[in-house]
Amino acid sequence: MNNTSADDAYLENKSNPKDKLKAFNSLLPIFSFIKPYKLMLSLALLALLVTAAINLSLGQAVKSVIDNGFIAGSAEQLQATILGLVFLVGLLAVGTFSRFYLMSWLGERVSADIRKAVFNRIVTLHPSYFEENRSGELMSRLTTDTALLQSIIGSSFSMSLRSLFLLIGGLVMLFVTNLKLSLVVIVAVPFILIPMLIYGRKVRALAETSQGAIADIGTYAGEIIQNIKVVQSYTHEAREQVAFGEEVEKAFVVAKRRVKQRSFLIAIVIFLTFAAISSMLWIGGMDVLSGKMTGGELGAFVFYAIIVATSVATIAEVYGELQRAAGSATRLLDLLKVESDIKQPNQPSVMKAQSSSAITFEQVNFSYPSRPDIPALQGINLMIPTGKTVALVGPSGAGKTTLFELLQRFYDPQQGHIKFNDIDIIQLALTDLRDAMGMVPQQPILFSSDVWHNIRYGNPQATDAQVIEAAKRAHADEFINELPRGYASFLGEQGVRLSGGQKQRIAIARAILKDPNVLLLDEATSALDAQSEHHVQSALNELMQDRTTLIIAHRLSTVIDADLIVVMDKGRIVDTGDHHSLLTSSPLYKKLCDLQFDKSNSNK
Ligand SMILES: Nc1ncnc2c1ncn2[C@@H]1O[C@H](COP(=O)(O)OP(=O)(O)OP(=O)(O)O)[C@@H](O)[C@H]1O
């Protein structure tokens, strides 16, 4: 249990009363999610009040049954009282149904809304956020944390309110029924409250650690499953089983401590409560024997005392849960507060139809946020004329992909400007900017959906005929028709497997359908066979026709056909020109050609 000291330190930190207050305050913003459902909430509260009142009135029925029925010996009165009791219980059933249904509905509705709000926020965040936060952890917030909040709102919250009503009502009825006995109960209360507060605090801290450990398990398993082929080809199954087992056991140890504290809490509260009831029965029983109170009064008193005791026990239990939920709420609401680093202009400029220079980089310097000291791009000045094809070449790590990332505003440069049709891209609405660009990545991303969905991702409004037309132009129609279910065949994770060239043609069809002004193309480095390469090349030619194109080039044919070649190295542009001039003027270009391309071709 090497977690113990860390957990204890954690508990120490949490013992500050201010922190405790903060924990419950963190639940408050949840109310803004409940606000739209005021009517449901009011109805639920009404049902809650009515059922609590009926519960309390049952005590009077008990008194009446004993005093008027048993002790007076009247069968008629007993019958009338029992009928009244049945009526009350029927009302109680209706009230309980309404309370349970409405509260659970509210819990489900609010957690659904929070899930949507969190997802809506996540998809708009800047990509570097996802480098700092593991995806498994974000998933667990969307699922586990929201599920916990749902059970809190749908059940714990209603239970604690109900118990609070019953506690207050029960206490009032106790005093009304018998003052002396009530004082016995009052003396017992602090004995019940003190352990509740001590253990409640520990339970909360352990619950947070426990949830963190569960999220770690999810992240770990997710990564292994995603990379299962690497795991198997290195025959690391057994090692991974052991490592995963250790993660699970770590979570179990924390969970065990939490469960132990919580069990103590419940056991102590129940023992103390019933010990108090027993002493009360003894004192009250003596009073009944000596004629100071009626049997019915004692019966009613015991009934109310049990109500008060169970209410206190319920509140003690729910208190721990509410503290757990405070942890989830804090994490979720923190996530809702994250702002994207990519700021949109308040008054976006209107996109110009066209200008002679499609894209201009002016003195652009950029470092990735995770590596602020290492420049990824330095002093970039580049003009890409409208309608032309510009090839980017350079050794690995030269900054070619980074240039694409900045163009799409996944990151903003620390210095300099990037202009699109002569307007600074930070003045444009992000959707306008990104709608104008089409990216075909080196590793095409397919979603686990059918071919229709995957191609239509380029333009969700496209008709079936337009999708087929795009596939034909991308030289993909033929192989799609040979798939088991044609365009309705599933691709992606659980779908049919496509070859690298086929995936690329789907990605090209998607870009054709998008019909962007500017095409960003990252050529595949993996060698395709001659026929596949021919298909992909024909598809690309179709896509590049009359379109400003920026290509990270890996093929000689692309480089030779380009209107301009930009040679990059270590984040800088070292040379620009056409193939023949660069072969003589740029030693790096010559070296790249010799290395990357077939030597005999490079002198063409
Ligand atoms: N997300 C990132 N966070 C931090 N550094 C990064 C990130 N992406 C790239 N880099 C760094 O920025 C530099 C430029 O990388 P970039 O991917 O632009 O090179 P590239 O020319 O496209 O290389 P390749 O041809 O291998 O894809 C490299 O040093 C790389 O390590």
Residue pLDDT, tens place only, 45-54:
999 999 999 9
pLDDT at 578 over 60: yes
Domains and CATH numbers, the chain: 26-337 (1.20.1560.10), 349-436+519-529+547-579 (3.40.50.300), 443-515 (3.40.50.300)
- Locate the DSSP E strands across 275-412: 357-366, 377-385, 389-393
Query: 394 in ligand 1 pocket by Cβ < 6 Å?
Result: yes
Query: 274 in ligand 1 pocket by Cβ < 6 Å?
Result: no
Confidence (pLDDT) at 369: 87
How far away, in angstroms, is 393 Cα from ligand 1 center? Answer: 14
Q: For a substitution probing ligand 1, which of 341, 366, 392, 400 has the most ligand atoms within 8 Å of its CB?
A: 400
CA 249 to chain centre: 25
Query: 32 in ligand 1 pocket by Cβ < 6 Å?
Result: no
Q: What are the residues whose beta carbons fall under 8 Å from the beta carbon of 560, sequence distance 6 or more?
A: 579, 604
CA 519 to chain centre: 32
Query: Minimum mean pLDDT among 350-359, 484-493, 502-511, 588-597: which range?
Result: 350-359
Mean pLDDT, range 393-416, rounded to an integer:
92
- Give me the active site residues, please: 523
User: Rounded to an integer, what distance in angstroms lies between the CA atom of residue 16 and that of residue 26?
Assistant: 16
Asked if residue 159 lies in contact with residue 48, where contact means CB atoms within 8 angstroms, the answer is: no
User: Rounded to an integer, what distance in angstroms lies between the CA atom of residue 288 and that of residue 66?
Assistant: 13
Residue pLDDT, tens place only, 138-180:
887 888 888 888 888 888 888 888 899 999 999 898 888 888 8
Mean pLDDT, range 382-408, rounded to an integer:
91
Mean pLDDT, range 401-415, rounded to an integer:
93
Query: 154 in ligand 1 pocket by Cβ < 6 Å?
Result: no
In the block, which residue shows the tokens 């691709």?
491
Residue pLDDT, tens place only, 93-132:
999 999 889 988 998 998 899 889 988 988 888 888 887 7
Query: 376 in ligand 1 pocket by Cβ < 6 Å?
Result: yes
Confidence (pLDDT) at 306: 84
Strand, coil or helix: 390: strand
How far away, in angstroms, is 571 Cα from ligand 1 center? Answer: 9
Of residues 147, 161, 140, the one with CA closest to residue 108? 147
How far away, in angstroms, is 377 Cα from ligand 1 center? Answer: 10
- Locate the DSSP E strands across 132-251: none
Which ligand 1 atom is the nearest neighbour of the CA of 568?
A: 21
Confidence (pLDDT) at 494: 61
User: DSSP character for 65?
Assistant: I
Query: 399 in ligand 1 pocket by Cβ < 6 Å?
Result: yes
pLDDT at 524 over 80: no
Residue pLDDT, tens place only, 526-552:
656 677 677 777 778 877 888 899 999
Alpha carbon nearest to ligand 1 atom 4, residue: 368
Work out the pLDDT band at 24, boundaries 50, 70, 90. low
Of residues 20, 438, 43, the one with CA closest to residue 205? 20
pLDDT at 388 over 80: yes
- Side-chain-side CA neighbours of 192 within 13 Å: the count stands at 25
Mean pLDDT of the chain: 83
Mean pLDDT, range 388-394, rounded to an integer:
91
Query: 397 in ligand 1 pocket by Cβ < 6 Å?
Result: yes
- Locate the DSSP E strands across 415-463: 415-420, 423-424, 437-440
The DSSP-derived string for 162-177 is HHHHHHHHHHHHHHHH
Confidence (pLDDT) at 455: 93
How far away, in angstroms, is 587 Cα from ligand 1 center? Answer: 23
Confidence (pLDDT) at 529: 67
User: Rounded to an integer, what distance in angstroms lies between the CA atom of residue 159 and that of residue 314?
Assistant: 7
Query: Minimum mean pLDDT among 238-242, 293-297, 582-586, 600-604: which range?
Result: 600-604
Which ligand 1 atom is the nearest neighbour of the CA of 128?
A: 1
pLDDT at 187 over 90: no
Alpha carbon nearest to ligand 1 atom 14, residue: 399
Strand (E) or helix (H) holding 475: none
In the block, which residue shows the tokens 């019933």?
274
User: DSSP character for 527?
Assistant: P
pLDDT at 392 over 60: yes
pLDDT at 2 over 50: no
The ipTM value here is 0.95
Which ligand 1 atom is the nearest neighbour of the CA of 399?
A: 18
Confidence (pLDDT) at 50: 92
pLDDT above 90: percentage of residues in the chain: 27
pLDDT above 70: percentage of residues in the chain: 90
User: Rounded to an integer, what distance in angstroms lies between the CA atom of residue 451 and that of residue 496?
Assistant: 10
Residue pLDDT, tens place only, 463-494:
999 999 999 988 889 889 998 889 999 887 66
Strand partners, 439: 520
Query: Minimum mean pLDDT among 186-200, 276-290, 302-316, 415-429: which range?
Result: 186-200
Which ligand 1 atom is the nearest neighbour of the CA of 405?
A: 18
User: Rounded to an integer, what distance in angstroms lies between the CA atom of residue 438 and that of residue 446?
Assistant: 15
How far away, in angstroms, is 396 Cα from ligand 1 center? Answer: 8
Q: For a substitution probing ligand 1, which of 401, 404, 551, 570 has the most ligand atoms within 8 Å of its CB?
A: 401
Confidence (pLDDT) at 380: 93
How far away, in angstroms, is 402 Cα from ligand 1 center? Answer: 6
Alpha carbon nearest to ligand 1 atom 26, residue: 396
Residue pLDDT, tens place only, 256-287:
988 888 888 788 777 877 787 788 788 888 88
Work out the pLDDT band at 241, boundaries 50, 70, 90. very high
Work out the pLDDT band at 400, boundaries 50, 70, 90. very high
437-440 vs 518-522, strand pairing mode: parallel
Q: For a substitution probing ligand 1, which of 128, 368, 588 has the most ligand atoms within 8 Å of its CB?
A: 368
User: Rounded to an integer, what distance in angstroms lies between the CA atom of residue 9 and that of residue 243?
Assistant: 26
Confidence (pLDDT) at 542: 76
How far away, in angstroms, is 403 Cα from ligand 1 center? Answer: 10
